[in-house]
Amino acid sequence: AQSVSQHNHHVILSEAASLELGCNYSYGGTVNLFWYVQYPGQHLQLLLKYFSGDPLVKGIKGFEAEFIKSKFSFNLRKPSVQWSDTAEYFCAGREGNTPLVFGKGTRLSVIA
Amino acid sequence: NAGVTQTPKFQVLKTGQSMTLQCAQDMNHEYMSWYRQDPGMGLRLIHYSVGAGITDQGEVPNGYNVSRSTTEDFPLRLLSAAPSQTSVYFCASQDPSFTEAFFGQGTRLTVV
């Protein structure tokens, strides 16, 4: 079955530290990949998405992700996190017109 | 433009009661879906619909019914609530080219 896995359950970083959250997928064909963020008490918001073309995707709020087909990975990165980045981050994937499948999420806590 | 609207935002049910979670979108999207979010489990697909009159099961459909009589509405029915259905429920719709999923604000359901 198609699946998306996130390596880290909870990440704690100090402000200004660099961030990398792992995401792997198991799709065999053409895959669409997404990163969503959920701030406390809110709904999911799209950070960035990959459909085709440049494997380095830039999103909102300084986030970026790199699609590495050979590694089945789509890791999320940010050079310098802020306290306001504290949230839960979800990787999701889809193949064709199938429903979005989500990873289990990574909770990011940024401390001063 | 309201996007995806879910009601109610909060609900407490007694075991065995039934209820309907409402979801409406005003973007004329054909594709809609229901997810439940549980700690450490990410978002799991309950049911989805690719258009009026067409629905299909997701990963965790047991105990839930859906129907899609109009493009705008996609209600989720709990037939006989159980404590295991305590969760946060999100409705989503996707644009025709499937480039993004838009989420409602969520319904926090507690079954006692």
The pLDDT of residue A2 is 76
User: Does B58 contact A at CB distance below 8 Å?
Assistant: yes
Which of A34, A38, A39, A44 to mutate: most B Cβ within 10 Å? Answer: A44
d(CA B11, CA A69): 43
CB-based contact A43 B104, cutoff 8 Å: yes
The pLDDT of residue B80 is 96
pLDDT tens over chain B, length 112 residues: 579 999 999 999 999 999 999 999 999 999 999 999 998 889 999 999 999 999 999 999 999 999 999 999 999 999 999 999 999 999 999 887 777 889 999 999 999 9
The pLDDT of residue B44 is 95
3-state secondary structure chain B: CCCEEEECCEEEECCCCCEEEEEEECCCCCEEEEEEEECCCEEEEEEEEEECCEEEECCCCCCEEECCCCCCECCEEECCCCHHHCEEEEEEEECCCCCCEEECCCEEEEEC
User: Does B44 contact A at CB distance below 8 Å?
Assistant: yes
Residues B46 and B36: beta-carbon distance below 8 Å: yes
CB-based contact B103 A97, cutoff 8 Å: no
Q: Is A84 exposed, middle or buried (0-12, 13-18, 19+ CB in 10 A)?
A: exposed
Strand A4-6, strand A23-25: pairing: antiparallel
H-run or E-run covering A74: strand A73-78
Among all residues of chain B, which has the CA nearest to that of A48?
B100
User: Does B105 contact A at CB distance below 8 Å?
Assistant: yes
User: Does A105 contact B at CB distance below 8 Å?
Assistant: yes
CB-based contact A9 B48, cutoff 8 Å: no
Residues of A in contact with B94 (CB under 8 A): 100
Residues B68 and B49: beta-carbon distance below 8 Å: yes
* Amino acid (1-letter code) at residue A93: G
pLDDT tens over chain A, length 112 residues: 678 999 889 999 999 999 999 999 997 778 899 999 999 888 899 999 999 899 999 999 999 999 999 999 999 999 999 999 999 999 999 888 788 899 999 999 999 8
> Exposure string (b/e) for A15-26, b if CB count within 10 Å is 16 or more?
eeeebebbbbbe
User: Does B50 contact A at CB distance below 8 Å?
Assistant: yes
A43, A49, A90 member nearest B105 (Cβ): A43
The pLDDT of residue B1 is 59
The pLDDT of residue B105 is 92
What is the CB-side half-sphere exposure of residue A46 using CA atoms within 13 A? 17
Residues A77 and A63: beta-carbon distance below 8 Å: yes
